[in-house]
Structure 1
Amino acid sequence: MRRTLLNPKIDFVFKKIFGSEEHPEILISFLNAVLKPQKPIVSVEIKNSDLEKEYIEDKFSRLDVKALTSNKEIINIEIQLKNEYNMIQRSLYYWSKLYEEQLSEGDRYDKLSRTVCINILDFKYLKNDRFHNGYRLKEIETNEELTDLQEIHFIEIPK
């Protein structure tokens, strides 16, 4: 019987590779390579990838991979094969939902953890030649970083 490799860009296969509780070392290695943290990630906990609705009219979303790192960061990894011309908006929406869901009534804001979205795109999207771009909130004129609590990455496979 001949074996063929499955395409890792297919949603189901992607989730089996990066969202596997049986083989967390794959996700850990990927996150350390992409984020280059000062303190390396040594463990991850794969979380439920559904973004729960608060009201019936709310938009339901399911992330590809959602994880909590040993550095107490919340990570979302998405793979997108087709350009729907909304990746920045979509990424900000997912990021905001992950950030918002951390607090309950009466919680203090300092409980909020660093939240990172990593978007792997099978198309060219950003107007530069770099295949990996990472963004944070910065002051417009001085480029002074306000915080690292928000970080959004785009990895464009064709580049």
Structure 2
Amino acid sequence: MTKKPARKIITFDWAIKTILRDKANFDVLEGFLTALFDRPITILDMLESESNQQDEADKYNRVDLLAKTGDGERIIVEVQYLPEKAYLKRLVYGTAKTIVENLSLGDPYEKVRKVYSVNLLHFEIGREENEYIYHGQNGFMGFHTHRPIILDKYLTGDSVPTGERNVFPEYYLIPLRHFPNII
């Protein structure tokens, strides 16, 4: 069993869960996400960050922060202190659960919103010494041409909003050891 490292009195985890939930401090989170995503991000609301179990056998999902943007996107922000064997699978589960819980029975699939998972890690995730942010996303490529798919108009309509070009979740893994004395 891995022993938890000693924590300072006020932790980054505590700041994420309490200070950044306050609407007066949304600008701090917006600034961070704007820099990370390289586009303007506006936080409209903080959503309930613990999912409900549908029944006794259902697995629940709890994240540190779940934000709703001006575009209707969802952004999960999570601080992770210790590595877990199935950590990446847990990230996939968290984004999938967020998508499912934001769509009600009878809602059209057009209401599916993109989910981003931003993970601030107190451990090293990869072996690359010079990399400090890892980005994961899904896309469809031609099997033979290796070019990205261009969807037919009957699937997208005449105009395709930017956020709907790729509705698949995106993941950001940020090992915090690369930012000493900054966080």
Compute the TM-score of the two structures, normalised by the length of structure 1.
Answer: 0.84
Deviation string for 1:98-122 (max 9, x for gaps)? 0111211111111111111111101
Query: Which structure has the highest helix share of the two?
Result: 2
Match of 1:65 in 2: 65
Say which of 21, 28, 31 aligns to 1:29.
31
Aligned match of 1:144: 148
Aligned to 1:156: 175
Larger proportion of strand: 1
Instruction: Tell whether the 8 Å contact from 1:118 to 1:153 is kept in structure 2 after alignment.
Output: yes
Q: Which segments of 5 or more consecutive residues in structure 1 lack a partner in the other structure?
A: none
- Percent identity of the aligned residues? 24
- Give, in whole Å, the separation in 2 of the partners of 1:115 and 1:143: 24
User: What CA distance in whole angstroms lies between the structure 2 residues aligned with 1:12 and 1:43?
Assistant: 19
Contact 1:74–1:116 at 8 Å: present in 2 too?
yes
Separation of aligned partners in 2, 1:132 and 1:66: 20
Specify which structure has the bigger relative contact order, considering alpha-carbon pairs within 8 angstroms and separated by 6 or more residues.
2
Which amino acid is 1:70 matched to?
G
Count of aligned pairs between the two proteins: 152
TM-fit CA distance, 1:43: 3.3
What is the CA RMSD across the aligned residues, in angstroms? 2.1
Structure 1 residue 46 corresponds to structure 2 residue 50: no
SS in structure 2 opposite 1:96? helix
Runs of 4+ in 1 over 6 A off after TM superposition: none
Q: What's the offset of the Cα at 1:148?
A: 4.4
- Inter-CA distance 20–86: structure 2 relative to 1 (3 Å threshold): farther
Distance between the aligned counterparts of 2:9 and 2:25, measured in 1?
A: 17
Scaled by the length of structure 2, the TM-score of the pair is 0.74
Corresponding residue for residue 134 of structure 2: 133
